[in-house]
Structure 1
């Protein structure tokens, strides 16, 4: 089964990601370090030590538009503060990121799970346990045209209302 990186590297035009939870993978060592006050680790901005940055740079250099939208409760959780802290290097690598306060999403039709949409032709849903850790069946793939359209429409609706990363202020 292809990995997320495999799917991203196979994109020709676009990869969009919608995140709708207020906390993920709290067992992540980077999150633990951040909670303990580590705020200026050079690894956060180093593509050699943070492979995600290299991947985004590679995709954008190949002409793939990579966008991420996050729907967040306000005041934001500590985990969202951590994500916000890590986002500047991602944006510098070429990923476009926007933030939507959950209050502004009430009238939107949204899928029940976070997802990646690849070239408007296939979707990977991510499944998480209640504590934010990945569920045992953490990925669900579909190329069903109706589901792809639902996800594309939902993402674009969120994107239109969301605040660009550089303008979003944590509350």
Structure 2
């Protein structure tokens, strides 16, 4: 596996021709770049979301080339504070062109998931999300091993088929 960081990771989106799919399976993330926005959310303070713009610009560029950006979040209910935060921010993902969906954890067997988050590009390139002990995103451990990629593709199909689009899930 190759650790893809920064521009090398973003190149995976540029090289994608059809789809970039992201599976998130944790209920809480402790990434330093989100700590202040998360604090503002919890304390109901104003946030201009400027910190989120680079990602949103990246999504707009990717989707403008006809590449779908899909995100499935497997979440516990009742929601953690972090899930409430990410659900509130997800409207910006959707406005930028992502298709964001939620799957309540009780609707999927844990054995049908992976323990790690990952990105799957065009069903051929898989990047497992890597976090430093501090919680900071460190990149993606990338593989094209056909057995591992096929397993991830099967998980994607199971999850995506059951996941609820943000607009419908937000009404719950």
Deviates more, 1:29-38 or 1:142-151: 29-38
Q: Deviations over 1:67-111 (max 9, x none)?
A: 000000000000000000101111011100110000001166222
Aligned pair partner of 2:28 in 13, 23, 27 = 23
Q: TM-score, normalised by structure 1?
A: 0.85
Question: Unaligned 5+ residue runs, structure 1?
Answer: none
Q: Shift of residue 112 of structure 1?
A: 2.4
Bigger helix fraction = 2
Cα RMSD, aligned residues only? 2.4
Instruction: Provide the C-alpha distance between the structure 2 equivalents of 1:22 and 1:130, rounded to a whole number of angstroms.
Output: 17
Is contact 2:20-2:69 (8 Å) kept?
Answer: yes
Unpaired runs of 5+ in structure 2? none
| Residue 105 of structure 1: aligned partner | 108
- TM-score of the superposition, structure 2-length normalised? 0.85
Structure 1 residue runs of 4 or more that deviate by more than 3 Å after TM superposition: 127-131
Quick one: structure 1 residues 156 and 50, their matched pair in 2 at CA, closer, same or farther if it must change by over 3 Å? same
* 1:69 and 2:72 correspond: yes
Counterparts of residues 89-168 of structure 1 (less than 5 Å): 89-106=92-109, 109-128=112-131, 133-134=135-136, 139-168=140-169
CA contact (8 A) 1:111 1:150 kept: no
Offset, 1:2: 4.9
